[in-house]
A and B are shown apart, each in its own frame.
Chain A
Amino acid sequence: MPDLGLNVLFKGKNAARLLGGLWVALRISLISVVISIPLGILLGVLMSGKNPIVKAILWVYLEIIRIMPQMVLLFLVFFGTTRAWGWDLSGETASIIVFVLWGTAEMSDLVRGALISIPKHQYESSEALGLTKGQTYLYIIIPQTVRRLIPLSINLITRMIKTTSLVLMIGVVEVLKVAQQIIEANRMSSPNAAFGIYLVVFLLYFLACWPISLLASYLEKK
């Protein structure tokens, strides 16, 4: 059995540091999700509304955000806006801005999709039953939309967590960066640590996302 460098994990505070790094990534994604979901719902409702100007503006926003790789967005905000406007932005703030922009776009598209998937006869039937517009939304449309949305928004959380691994590239010290530091520090005593440590990071991400995915697919079937 060759040395796979797993022993490095138990040296000093390495395991705790790695988990701390994971928490940095998770925190960024959780903050972004918490902000994106209400904003996305608002934009999604606006997008399925009737105002053509609002719709056009939102459509442009959605397409621009969705066609660009998230990494490019991170670079634009972290290097581009700081250069253009001369403000000072930490890597973490920049990534939260990017993930909120991206999450809002994705969420609004999910909301719009769920809203237009409600057949027209649902509106017509409730009108025929004498419900007012407010009642129609409150009792008929929103409950059905929410049921469709919950698994999709939970999926968005796992996508957000996976995407936050990119913040490494703008210098945020998250789990991969911590892993690099640990491997560097133990280069002499344990040259094979890269295998073990990166495997652990891989599994940590899996353990963070898998339960959420399972929950989403369970809710989807329900």
Chain B
Amino acid sequence: MDWNVIAQYLPLYKKAAWLTLRLGLAGIVIAIVVGLVCALVQYYKVPVLRRIVGAYIELSRNTPLLVQLFFIYYGLPKIGIKTNAEICGIAGLAFLGGSYMAEAFRSGLESIEPIQTESAMSLGMDHAQTMRYIILPQAMSISVPAFVANVIFLLKETSVFSAISLMDLMFTAKDLIGLYYKTTECLFLLVVFYLLILLPVSLLGSWLERRLRYAGFGA
């Protein structure tokens, strides 16, 4: 292990880690919104939309992100949809993550028993209020473990971005190995940087899981 080499490469990895984090975060936030909308569409059984959402979820869950990205990045420009690599990366992550988030939220929503809605109605709440004050808080609490698992899963999936020539951690490592053959140092930095990103998220996630475990537990 050559520490001079590591010191020399450090700035490159830092830059790459920011890219990974930035794109990952953007993709995850959009995925959460998409997931929430899809889950609500399925929960309220909105006629036509429900079918579309169902098809989207099946398509997105049963294909790998790498293939989705190839289609978005290399395929779509051929029919005139041109964007840059960063937007493609975010779009791909959101497309994949949306369905995973939808499943997490949906299982939370479905686990709330009808008696909760009925009680809220008999207290004089309208639909929006029932959703806002009764259903969502409990459903969210139940979805948290699946939600946290999805966030970590999606952050890990960003490693695929290197395939569409985004300069993320994977790309930087592969590039440097190819250029200078400092394999050990490059891989060491790669592991360290992924740990720096993923460990705090994972710890924060398990803290959040403990903190938000209030609905339906101990009942």
Contacts and interface: CB of A to CB of B under 8 A. Distances in A.
B79 interface: yes
B67 A169 contact: no
Given A80-B183, A83-B184, A194 B74 contact: yes
A67 B160 CA distance: 15
Given A79-B183, A80-B184, A168 B66 contact: yes
A75 B184 contact: no
Contacts of A179: 70
B6 to A, nearest CB: 15
B76 A76 contact: no
B19 interface: no
Contacts, number: 112
A202 to B, nearest CB: 5
Interface in A90-124: none
Interface in A153-197: 158, 162-163, 165-166, 168-169, 176, 179, 183, 191-197
Nearest to A210: B62
Contacts of A75: 170, 173-174, 187, 190
B63 A206 contact: yes
Given A176-B67, A195-B75, A202-B68, A83 B183 contact: yes
Interface in B25-79: 58-59, 61-64, 66-68, 70-71, 74-79
B67 A165 contact: yes
Residues of B contacting A: mostly: helix
B70 A68 contact: no
A194 B78 contact: yes
A145 interface: no
B10 interface: no
B117 interface: no
A69 B20 CA distance: 13
Contact of A67 (B75, B78, B170, B198): B198
Contacts of A2: 79
B63 A168 contact: no
A5 interface: yes
A198 interface: yes
Interface of B: 58-59, 61-64, 66-68, 70-71, 74-79, 152, 156-160, 162-163, 170, 173-174, 177, 183-184, 187, 190-191, 194-195, 198-199, 202
13 contacts: A67-B202, A68-B191, A69-B194, A80-B187, A162-B63, A165-B66, A168-B163, A176-B67, A196-B75, A198-B71, A198-B74, A201-B70, A205-B64
